[in-house]
Chains A and B, each alone.
Chain A
Amino acid sequence: MMEAITYFFTDPIAQKVIMGIAIIGAVSGVVGTFSFLRKKTLIADAISHSVLPGICLGFMFAGTKDPIVLLTGALVIGWISVWLIDYLSSTTKLSADTAIALVSTLFFAIGSVLLSVISKSQNAEQTGLKNFLFGKAATMTTFDIQVFTVVSIAIFVVVILFFKPFQLVCFNHEFAKSIGVKVKRMEFLLSTLTVMTVAIGIQAVGVVLMSALLIAPAASARYWTNRLPIMIFLAALFGTFSSVIGVMLSTMKNNMPTGPWIVFSLFTFTLFTLLFAPHKGWFSIKRRNLSNHKKITEENLLKTFYQLKEEGNTAVSFRDFLEKRAVDTHSLVRDVRRMVKHGFLFEKDKTFSLTESGNKEAARVLRSHRLWELYLTKRMNFKNDHIHGTAETIEHLITPEIEQLLLKELDFPTSDPHNKEIPY
Chain B
Amino acid sequence: MVGDAISHSVLPGIVIAYLISTKFDSIFILIGAAIFGVFTTFLIDFFHKKLKLQEDASIGITFTWLFAAGVILISLFGDGNADLDQECVLFGELGTSFLDKIIYHGRLFGTRSMLMILPVFIAVVLFVVFGFKGLQIISFHQEYAKSKGINVSFWHYTFMSLVSITTVMSFESVGAILVVGLLVIPPATAYLLVNKLPSMLFVSCIIAAIACFVGYYLSIIFDVSLSSMIIVTAGSLFMLVLAYIKIRFQVQKTVELK
Chain A residues within 8 Å of B, Cβ to Cβ: 36, 39-42, 45, 49, 88, 91-94, 97-98, 100-102, 104-106, 108-110, 112-113, 115-117, 120, 130, 133-134, 208-209, 211-212, 215-216, 218-219, 253, 255-257, 259-261, 263-264, 266-267, 270, 274-275, 280, 282, 285
* Residues of the B chain whose Cβ atoms lie less than 8 Å from the Cβ of A98: 184, 188, 191
Contacts of B231 in A (CB 8 A): 105-106, 109
Contact B228 A109 (CB under 8 A): yes
From B29-37, B140-148, B174-182, give the one contacting chain A: B174-182
Residue from B60, B184, B191, B228 within 8 A of A45 (CB atoms): B60
Q: Which residues of B contact A (CB under 8 A)?
A: 1, 3-4, 47, 50-54, 56-57, 59-61, 64-65, 67-69, 71-72, 75-76, 86-87, 90-91, 177-178, 180-181, 183-185, 188, 191-192, 222-225, 227-229, 231-232, 234-235, 238, 242, 245-246
Contacts of B69 in A (CB 8 A): 260, 264
Nearest CB in chain A: distance from B196 CB, A: 13
Q: Is the CB of B225 within 8 A of A216?
A: no
Are B181 and A41 in contact, CB atoms less than 8 angstroms apart? no
Among the interface residues A130, A257, A260, which one has the most CB atoms of the partner chain B within 10 A?
A260
Interface centre among A88, A116, A117, A259 (most CB of B within 10 A): A116
| Residue picked from B68, B181, B225, most chain A C-beta under 10 Å | B68
Bound-state Cα–Cα, A263 to B232, Å: 29
- Describe A's contact surface by its main secondary structure: helix
| Residue numbers in B under 8 Å from A253 (CB-CB) | 75-76
Q: List 5 A-B residue pairs with CB atoms under 8 Å apart, sorted by A's residue number.
A: A112-B178, A212-B60, A259-B71, A266-B65, A282-B50
Query: Contacts A105-B180, A116-B228 known; A219 to B53 CB distance under 8 Å?
Result: yes
| A94/B192 in contact, CB under 8 A | yes
Task: Using CB atoms, name the residue of chain A closest to B72.
Answer: A260
B contact residues around A261 at 8 Å (CB)? 68, 72
User: Besides A106-B232, A109-B227, A208-B90, 9 other CB < 8 A contacts?
Assistant: A41-B56, A42-B56, A93-B191, A108-B178, A115-B225, A212-B65, A256-B75, A257-B75, A285-B52
- Report if A110-B232 is in contact (Cβ < 8 Å); known contacts: A116-B224, A256-B75, A270-B61: yes
Q: How far is the CB of B203 from chain A (nearest CB, A)?
A: 14
Kindly state the separation between the CA atoms of A113 and B91 in the bound complex, as whole angstroms: 11
When distances are taken between beta carbons in the complex, the residues of chain A under 8 Å from B72 are: 256, 260-261, 264
Tell which of A115, A255, A261, A263 has the most Cβ of chain B within 10 Å. A263
With A110-B232, A257-B75, A261-B72 already in contact, the answer to whether A116 and B225 are too (CB < 8 A) is yes
Residues of A within 8 A of B246 (CB): 91
Looking across the interface, which residue of chain B has its beta carbon closest to that of A42? B56
**Contact, CB under 8 Å: A263 / B224:** no
When distances are taken between beta carbons in the complex, the residues of chain A under 8 Å from B47 are 274
CB of B92, distance to nearest CB on chain A (Å) = 11
Q: In whole angstroms, how far apart are the Cα atoms of A209 and B66 in the complex? A: 10
B180 touches A101 (CB 8 A): yes
User: What separation, in Å, do the CA atoms of A286 and B234 have in the docked complex?
Assistant: 49
Q: How far is the CB of A31 from chain B (nearest CB, A)?
A: 15
- The residues of A that contact B223 with a CB separation of less than 8 Å are 120
Give the Cβ gap from A43 to chain B, nearest Cβ, in Å. Answer: 9
Name the CB-closest residue of A to B179.
Answer: A105
Q: Which of B1, B64, B181 contacts A263 (CB 8 A)?
A: B64
**Chain A residues with Cβ under 8 A from B54's Cβ?**
36, 39
Q: State A104–B178 Cα separation when bound (angstroms).
A: 10
* CB atoms of A42 and B224 under 8 A apart: no
Which chain B residues lie closer than 8 Å to A94 at the CB level? 188, 191-192
CA of A45 to CA of B8, assembled, Å? 13
Residues of chain A contacted by B50 (CB below 8 angstroms): 282
- Given A93-B192, A109-B181, verify A101-B225 contact (CB < 8 Å): no
